[in-house]
């Protein structure tokens, strides 16, 4: 009888305890409004503004942003592959060899059967854009 009472007590305590924990907070949705010059998005837990970029960097961001902010998957892959030419033209205007190389790497990834490398290549483009944008921001100071 002691064992049954003890088991019932433990189960009751567990039930009460489980019911008192707050649920996990809901994910905060990312919203984008305004022009690409005013666009901000979370990266690494902070928001970055792109409004103080050169016209060439703003133009590139304008081509990259709608692709990058599409949910990963087949839709983003398709959007990436249809946007490579525009991104290539805008990358050339920036004059950063690594950014141009990253963008140019999208063409062969898009041409490959299954397009399995496109997401990784797009990520490289995005990462390099942020490096170039950060360098450009520091040159103004």
What is the residue-wise DSSP string for 61-88? HHHHHHHHTSPTTHHHHHHHHHHHHHHH
At 79-104, the pLDDT tens digits run 999 999 999 999 999 999 999 999 99
C-alpha torsion sign, points 23, 24, 28, 29 = negative
Q: Rounded CA gap, 34 and 31, in Å? A: 10
pTM score, two decimals? 0.64
At 26-47, the pLDDT tens digits run 333 333 333 333 333 434 333 3
At 112-132, the pLDDT tens digits run 999 999 999 999 999 999 999
Q: Rounded CA gap, 111 and 58, in Å? A: 28
């Amino acid at each position: 009888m002691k064992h049954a009472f003890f088991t019932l007590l433990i189960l009751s305590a567990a039930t009460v305890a489980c019911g008192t924990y707050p649920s996990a907070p809901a994910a905060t949705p990312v919203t984008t409004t305004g022009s690409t010059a005013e666009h901000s998005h979370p990266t690494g837990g902070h928001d970055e503004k792109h409004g103080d970029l050169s016209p060439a960097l703003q133009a590139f961001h304008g081509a990259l942003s709608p692709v990058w902010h599409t949910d990963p998957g087949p839709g983003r892959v398709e959007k990436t592959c249809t946007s490579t030419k525009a991104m290539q033209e805008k990358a050339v205007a920036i004059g950063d060899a690594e950014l141009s190389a990253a963008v140019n790497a999208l063409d062969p990834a898009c041409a490959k059967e299954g397009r399995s490398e496109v997401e990784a290549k797009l990520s490289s483009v995005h990462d390099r854009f942020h490096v170039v944008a950060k360098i450009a921001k520091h040159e103004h100071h």
